[in-house]
Every structure is written in C-alpha cells, then in structure tokens.
Amino acid sequence: MLLLGLFGWLGTDAIITGEGRTPWLTLAALLLAVPLVVAFSVRPAVFANDDRLRVRNPFRVIELPWASVVSLRSGYSNEVIDEAGTKYQLWAVPVSLRARKKAARQQARESGRTAKGDSSGRTSLEERTVRAETDQIMADLRELCEARAKAPGSQGEPTVRWAWEVMAPAAAGAVLLTILIALG
C-alpha cells in the first residue's frame, strides 16, 4: 500500500508539473506498474468454504472442489495438488522458516517444562502443540479437505482462470510505454 501511495504522489506530481512528454510517460509507466504492484501485494488470497478452495494468485484464479484436492503440502512453499497432479502455489500463505524455527524452539521449551513436571495446571503437551501461523493455516485447510471431500457439493472439476483484470492494463501500459520511448 505504501508503494501505491508513493506511485500516486510521484505520478501526480510528474503529471501536473511535468513538461513535454513527461506526463504521458508517467501515465504509461503507472499503467504498467500499478497493476503489477496490486497483483503481487494486494491480490493474493486463499478462500475456503464447505465446498471448495479458491486460490487467487497474482495472475490466475484457481477453484478446486474439495473432492479434487489430493494433498495440501508445505515445504519451502505451500502448495495444493489436484487429482491430475497439477501443483498450485498458495501465494497468500507464504512459508516462514524463521517462524517455524521459533515455533520449534517454543515447543522444545514447553516439552522441557512438561518433562520436569512443571505443567502449572496447563493442558497436556498434545493439546498445546506450537506451530508457525502458516503451518496452522495449512493444517486447518487439510482438516477441512478431509472432512468435506465426500460431500455432494464438493464434487466437480478444478477451474483455472487467467486474471485479465491485472494482465490487460499492465500489457497496455507496457505497449504504450514502449511506443512513447521509441518515438522519443
């Protein structure tokens, strides 16, 4: 959001006070840059309901009925794999190795306290497993998938749609910027 604000401020200044071709070059550059910034920073999202998983990545929207999801896995990135073996990355759920290490350290401290008998009225170790936030999100998605895969509303084929609302303005800005630079 800060980058969009900066683009707006500098772009407005260049358009209002610029001379010659500067306002036109600025408009073309903004037409190229703003959709790309939105695509990579604001747009990524993952939506899950009882029937399907909807993944909104920078340039595609993937809808996967729970019955078509074979696995949700976490490694260096979080991915969903459909029954055809196609992998889709979840851009909105990034893996943080630092958060995983922090959770592992906290889990080790908790298990050390439990081993010494210092539970201080807390629940058992199994009930208070510490996970990184994105690992917890993936575990929740796995549970939802397992619970809903056989439901009648969760059947169907995956659909993938290109995000033309992002790609078209960026492509138009790139073409316009190229033309303006070539004419200059």
pLDDT of 121 over the 60 cut: no
Q: Output phi, psi for 162, to 5 deg.
A: -75, 145
Residues in the chain, total = 184
pLDDT in tens, 146-163: 999 899 999 999 999 999
Q: How far apart are the first and last CA of the chain?
A: 32
Residues in contact with 164: Cβ distance below 8 Å, sequence separation at least 6, in sequence order: none
In the beta sheet, which residues pair with residue 56? 45, 61
pLDDT confidence of 74, banded at 50, 70, 90?
A: confident
User: For residue range 7-58, what is the model confidence (pLDDT) as tens digits?
Assistant: 999 999 999 999 999 999 999 999 999 999 999 999 999 999 999 999 999 9
Bridge-based pairing state of the strands 78-82 and 45-48? unpaired
- Its CATH architecture, for the domain 44-96+132-162, is Roll (2.30)
3-class DSSP assignment, residue 60 = strand
CA–CA distance, 35 with 37 (Å, rounded to integer): 6
The model's pLDDT over 83-94, given as tens digits with 9 standing for 90+, comes to 999 999 999 988
Question: Is residue 114 pLDDT above 80, yes or no?
Answer: no
Domain boundaries, the chain: 1-43+163-184, 44-96+132-162, 98-128
pTM of the complete model: 0.78
What is the per-residue pLDDT across 32-45, written as a single tens digit (0 to 9) for each? Answer: 999 999 999 999 99
User: Does the pLDDT of residue 125 top 50, yes or no?
Assistant: no
Give the containing element (helix H, strand E) for 78.
Answer: strand 78-82
Please list, in sequence order, all residues whose beta carbon lies within 8 angstroms of the beta carbon of residue 75, skipping any fewer than 6 positions away: 95
Please tell me the predicted confidence (pLDDT) of residue 76: 87
